[in-house]
């Protein structure tokens, strides 16, 4: 298989490393070209549908900025309400030059109640989860996953890439 050139709709080093890890896990030769693109959605998406739309927009916008790319990749994280709970949702969307789209969604993680309540009262997720970590003063794997989002993003990328490669 030839090397895949992917336009990536983010400049975030963390997200770039998640995509790279997914390509490496699937043993796919690749070149990632990151771009600063708009998601076209709110700063803190509050539904899975909005999160998916943001990932699709990033993939499409990145692909438009890179004429030599085989595909565009967009990553987006958001929150989803389930009853009284809030869940973290991580999405990867892939878009090809011929406008085919492939979607991957990672495992969802329930936010601690204190963090969910603060977000429902207008606070921002990133700040609240870090405050929660500092206050709880323990090395909690769930809290680390909610901060780094590595596991759900890598899962989402693996799913989308597997569908693309099929």
**How many residues appear in the chain?**
166
CATH no. for residue 9? Answer: 3.90.950.10
Q: Per the structure block, which two tokens stand in for 48?
A: 């899975």
Count of structural domains within the chain: 1
Neighbouring residues of 58: CB distance < 8 A, sequence distance ≥ 6: 9, 10, 37, 38, 39, 72, 73, 74, 75, 76, 93
Q: What is the pLDDT of residue 38?
A: 96
Structural domain harbouring 101: 4-165
Q: What is the pLDDT of residue 2?
A: 87
- Measured at the CA of 68, the angle between CA 63 and CA 72, to 5 degrees, comes to 25
The pTM score is 0.94
Query: CA 6 → CA 28, 53, 132, distances in Å?
Result: 12, 19, 36
Q: What is the pLDDT along the chain (166 residues), one digit of tens a residue?
A: 789 999 999 999 999 999 999 999 999 999 999 999 999 999 999 999 999 999 999 999 999 999 999 999 999 999 999 999 999 999 999 999 999 999 999 999 999 999 999 999 999 999 999 999 888 866 788 888 898 999 999 999 999 999 999 9
Q: What is the pLDDT of residue 58?
A: 98
Q: Which of 105, 99, 111, 115 is nearest to 63 (CA)?
A: 99
């Amino acid at each position: 298989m030839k090397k895949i050139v992917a336009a990536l709709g983010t400049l975030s080093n963390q997200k770039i490393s998640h995509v790279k890890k997914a390509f490496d896990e699937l043993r796919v030769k690749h070149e990632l070209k990151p771009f600063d693109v708009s998601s076209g959605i709110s700063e803190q998406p509050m539904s899975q549908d909005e999160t998916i739309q943001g990932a699709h927009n990033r993939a499409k916008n990145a692909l438009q900025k890179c004429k030599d790319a085989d595909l565009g990749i967009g990553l987006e994280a958001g929150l989803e309400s389930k009853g009284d709970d809030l869940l973290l949702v991580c999405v990867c969307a892939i878009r090809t030059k011929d406008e085919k789209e492939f979607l991957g969604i990672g495992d969802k993680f329930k936010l601690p109640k204190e963090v969910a309540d603060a977000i429902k009262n207008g606070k921002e997720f990133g700040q609240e989860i870090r405050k929660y970590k500092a206050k709880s003063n323990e090395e909690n794997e769930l809290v680390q996953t909610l901060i780094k989002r590595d596991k759900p993003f890598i899962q989402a990328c693996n799913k989308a890439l597997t569908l693309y490669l099929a």
